[in-house]
Amino acid sequence: MARQKQTPQIITRLAAGETARFFELCSAQGKNHAELARQAIREMLAREESGIEAEVRDRLAEEVTQLQDLVKALLLQQKKTENRMAALIARNNIDIGIVYQLLWFRADRETREKMFQEARVHAIKRASQKLKEGDLEVKEMMKDALSS
């Protein structure tokens, strides 16, 4: 008959008091010392592994929270930038409107219509030349404005 392969043995020493307590526990649970030692080692390994898993989960959760906070901060900054740009554009439009109105009302009534149309065409041509490889949509809008 072939001999069964045995698993590796673990041998350890305990202080006399610990040994006595261990054997008392063996008797109380109705297990021999090898069975109780295996059970204790398995339980300890399971606790250790679950502790490591929990630690990894906790670290990942912390990193996710940090990333969420970072995204919130970036979105808030983006919103502030958008509001700032909108305010600047609004101020520019108001200033342009003021200049336009001042020039319109100070211009000769008989020639101002033609003068403003020529200025508009010239401004659109100048802007389209500066856009060389810029936004095609803006170029198309300027072409349409020139043709009207």
Q: What is the pLDDT of residues 1-12, one digit of tens each?
A: 566 778 888 888
Query: Is residue 36 within 8 Å of residue 22, measured between CB atoms?
Result: yes
Mean pLDDT, residues 13-40 taken together: 92
Give exposure, 15-26, as e/b (b: 16+ Cβ within 10 Å).
Answer: eeeeeeeeeeeb
**How confident is the model at residue 132, as a pLDDT?**
60
Write the pLDDT tens digit of every residue in 82-140.
999 999 999 999 999 999 899 988 999 999 999 999 998 988 887 777 666 556 666 67
Whether 142 has a pLDDT exceeding 80, the answer reads: no
Q: How far apart are CA 57 and CA 51, in angstroms?
A: 10
**How confident is the model at residue 110, as a pLDDT?**
92
Residue 148 banded pLDDT, cuts 50, 70, 90: low
Residue 56 banded pLDDT, cuts 50, 70, 90: confident
Count of beta carbons in the 10 Å neighbourhood of residue 54 = 10
Q: How many CA atoms within 13 Å lie on the side-chain side of 78?
A: 6
**How confident is the model at residue 68, as a pLDDT?**
96
Domains of the chain, residue spans: 108-148
Write the pLDDT tens digit of every residue in 67-79.
999 999 999 999 9
Whether 46 has a pLDDT exceeding 80, the answer reads: yes
Mean pLDDT, the chain, as a whole number? Answer: 86
**How confident is the model at residue 131, as a pLDDT?**
61
**How confident is the model at residue 79, as a pLDDT?**
94
